[in-house]
Amino acid sequence: MSKRILITGGAGFIGSHLCERLIAEGNEVICLDNLHTGRKKNISHLLNNQGFEFLRHDITDPLKIEVDQIYNMACPASPVHYQSNPIKTIKTNVLGMMNMLGLAKRVNARILQASTSEVYGNPLEHPQNESYWGNVNTIGIRSCYDEGKRVAETLCFDYHRNHYVDIRVIRIFNTYGPKMLPNDGRVVSNFIVQALQGNDITIYGDGSQTRSFCYVDDLVDGIISMMEKDNFTGPVNLGNDGEFTVKELAEHVVRLTGTKSKIIYKDLPSDDPSRRKPDLTLAKKELNFQPKVKLEQGLAKAIEYFKQNLN
């Protein structure tokens, strides 16, 4: 049955893919974005669709609207952007979350919160499962995002316990693919853009730190599965549990782009996690979630996108 769905941050990287998928499934989608890091270009092909509506709005301001479901994807997710205005990042995660939960309560909508693997901080457990409480610096340069997202999770569960709001909480691990911003400072887009422009590929640290890279289509499958799953609030990890060093990622990008760029090393930023890999046991059990796209396949698609959109 068709639903009326609000996607906050809907013009962003992941949000725009979600808009496409939910429109294709026959739903009515309201895409809300303040265009701080989202781009109208990401959703321009949907604007003539009768079931699609774009609303320029900031979730730190209250919103009155009638919807069946809310996907709360609003918040800059790359360190470059969330650190550029840390107080705004905190407000989006706290005031914005309160506004969206208040809306869900008023209209009796199910709400999914896009939380993050950053709630685990620089983890002392590996891989990270949902019962791990994390190792987070409360006063570091990443804290506006890490702690903001942790408070957002707290708010979700307090609204659920106190007001019976129907919540879903996902923790997103590193995700990549078409529609990433070329200047977002994330490792995949950084390496691809540097390679395509013939610049040195910059690794911070010695490249031994690990990440797990999930292609965006796989992530969207998991997000929608979580929204549609009854009687399961989460939190649940979503991502890919293949683990690669940052140096291995750089070498893949060099090979796939055919660049003559050299790999160079710079100092590691503070609070940068040394290892990051999701334990997907719960996602597989509850959502039958299984990422399908291999890193090389996904990188090839991302490289093609950047080739066509770098100008």
212: closest CA among 184, 167, 252, 172? 172
Find the helix packing angle between 216-228 and 13-24, rounded to 10°: 60
Cβ–Cβ under 8 Å, residues 213 and 174 = yes
Q: Which helix (H) or strand (E) holds 8?
A: strand 4-8
Q: What DSSP state is assigned to residue 127?
A: S
Burial letters for 287-306: b for 16+ Cβ neighbours within 10 Å, e otherwise? bebebebebeebbeebbebb
Q: Sign of dihedral through CA atoms 197, 203, 208, 214?
A: negative
Cβ–Cβ under 8 Å, residues 63 and 103 = yes
Sole residue written with tokens 């997907």: 280
For 80, phi then psi, to 5°, come to: -55, -45
Q: What is the Cα–Cα distance from 242 to 259, expressed in whole angstroms?
A: 25
302: closest CA among 174, 177, 191? 177
- Of 71, 82, 145, 176, which is the active-site residue? 145
Find the helix packing angle between 246-257 and 187-196, rounded to 10°: 30
How remote is the C-alpha of 235 from its chain's centroid?
15
Sole residue written with tokens 């791990």: 132
193: closest CA among 305, 113, 288, 101? 305
48: Cβ contacts below 8 Å, ≥ 6 apart: none
> Does the annotation mark 145 as catalytic?
yes
Q: What is the Cα–Cα distance from 310 to 305, expressed in whole angstroms?
A: 9
Instruction: Give the residue numbers marked as catalytic.
Output: 145
